[in-house]
Amino acid sequence: MKAYVFPGQGAQFTGMGKELYDSNEEAKALFEKANDILGFRITDVMFEGTAEELKQTNVTQPAVFLHSVITALCAEEFTPDVVAGHSLGEFSALVACGALNFEDALKLVAKRADAMQKACEMNPSTMAAILGLSDEDVEKVCEGVEGVVPANYNCPGQLVISGSKEGIEKACEAAKEAGAKRALPLPVGGAFHSPFMEPAKAELQKAIEETVLNTPKCPIYQNVDAKPQTDPAVIKENLIAQLTAPVKWTQIVQAMIADGVTEFIECGPGKVLSGLVKKVDRKMPTTSL
């Protein structure tokens, strides 16, 4: 059983998608359609932009989405039994399983990125990765610091937390005292997957509710509940909740393996998710498109 998985923000790099654009007419047409939809040439930033330009949320999110989705849509063989995406990657996964069409998904991703950017500017906040502590211990640290919550359950021994800048500083100190190997502040614009994203959630909710979502061709394991979903109404609810809820990636990988997945194929820039899958199950075969 094959699981196709799609990365989120942070997987971007300069030059991403250029080879695909140059070598595949179908890919080139999709990239050009994306330039038209977004109203600026995102391909210029993807192919030649600086790391700093690519790091802006309103560029990063559509860029990673486009690379992932176009890679999947233009693959010679693309036959997922199940799909999942990490944070932003959930939108890529929804296109891959036929629940969202390319244009609608790109518009939602652009709206999501803008809304999150605005929320970051309203409430300065940040994230940190805690390495070498159990999930339970990190959860205890968060309970002890006001305004800090678990944000990304990436793999056993790696949990990202979100909160105010002051709160994250305190939580990093507390995590080290509790025995964490490292507590690393992340170079991000805000506290994603936390209550700090509430203004963005309100903005995105309307757009998601107005978008047509079809029954997917295969189950999608969603970030919010780590369960395989096929009901469009439930998928929409989870998609809206996703902005302020933690990403349960560890639980998604564990659930997929328990349900019979025998191979993970990563679609998009980098190999971050393949690495996380290996941390859950060292022997699990992983490849990337």
Q: Are 221 and 238 in contact (CB under 8 A)?
A: no
What is the enclosing helix (H) or strand (E) of 166?
Answer: helix 165-177
Q: Are 247 and 153 in contact (CB under 8 A)?
A: yes
Among 289, 258, 288, 283, which residue's Cα sits nearest to residue 1?
A: 258
Catalytic residue numbers, as ranges:
87, 193
Task: Give 187: exposed, middle or buried? Use CB within 10 Å, 0-12, 13-18, 19+.
Answer: exposed
CA distance 99 to 95: 6
How far CA 285 is from CA of 80, 270, 275, in Å, comes to 15, 16, 11
End-to-end alpha carbon distance in the chain:
17
Residue 127, beta-bridge partner list:
162
